[in-house]
Amino acid sequence: MKYKTFLSGAAAMLAIAAVSTARADITLRHALTGETLDLSFAKKGGNTDKFKQFMQTGKNPYNGDAEAIKKGESLYMTGCSGCHGHEAEGKLGPGLADDYWTYPRNATDVGLFEVLFGGANGMMGPQYVTFSTDEMLHIMAFIRHIYKGDPKKADWLK
Ligand code: HEC
């Protein structure tokens, strides 16, 4: 019995090692359906080095980057503030600067990207229609920058 547990543990570790050496990339899934997001729908020009880095690490390389945050703010004002409010305080759509999420995945960069790219319910349509994947990372950096929630719940920093 004990030996068997050891064996399955070892097998799991081997499997993890195999996966991480074969493919470092993350898999992006739709927030509602769980289906893999098809990045071939993405607007041209978004497959930048920073986006490639995000696809490797699952971390937004623009977080904390003052210039990127500024650009993200202006994109946010164009494409998101009408529904989410100028300070992401919530309007037609929920607030994005606090630590309550309808979809808890939004506390991670991968989760937030998935909701932006693939959309969620109702008025929250897929944003790939309007923004490139690189632009989405800029918007995300702005949203993280204006975060007013509990720092302990900021999973993207972990
Ligand atoms: C036409 C209005 C509209 C626009 C434009 C819009 N949203 Fe939304 N958004 C919504 C609504 C409504 C919801 C709630 C959907 C749901 O609960 O499934 C939502 C949900 C979200 C969520 C999930 C929040 C949570 O609590 O889990 C995020 C993140 C989000 N939007 C970010 C954005 C960003 C960033 C943009 C701009 C790129 C944007 N939205 C543009 C209306 C909009």
Given a cut of 80, is residue 42 above it in pLDDT?
Answer: yes
- Residues annotated within the binding site for heme c are 80, 83-84
Please tell me if the CB atom of residue 145 comes closer than 6 angstroms to any atom of ligand 1. Answer: no
What is the count of structural domains for the chain? 1
Q: Per-residue pLDDT tens for 55-68?
A: 999 999 999 999 99
Atom of ligand 1 nearest to the CA of 105: 27
Percent of all residues in the chain with a pLDDT value above 90, rounded to a whole number: 84
Residue 76 structural domain: 2-157
SS3 36: strand
Distance from Cα 75 to the centre of ligand 1, integer Å: 14
CA 114 to each of CA 21, 94, 108: distance values in angstroms, whole numbers, following the listed order: 24, 16, 10
Given a cut of 80, is residue 151 above it in pLDDT?
Answer: yes
Structure tokens at 66: 């003052």
Sign for the CA dihedral angle at 104, 91, 41, 155 comes to: negative
Please tell me if the CB atom of residue 77 comes closer than 6 angstroms to any atom of ligand 1. Answer: no
Average pLDDT of the segment spanning 143-157: 97
Q: Per-residue pLDDT tens for 79-111?
A: 999 999 999 999 999 999 999 999 999 999 999
CATH number of the domain at 82, please. 1.10.760.10
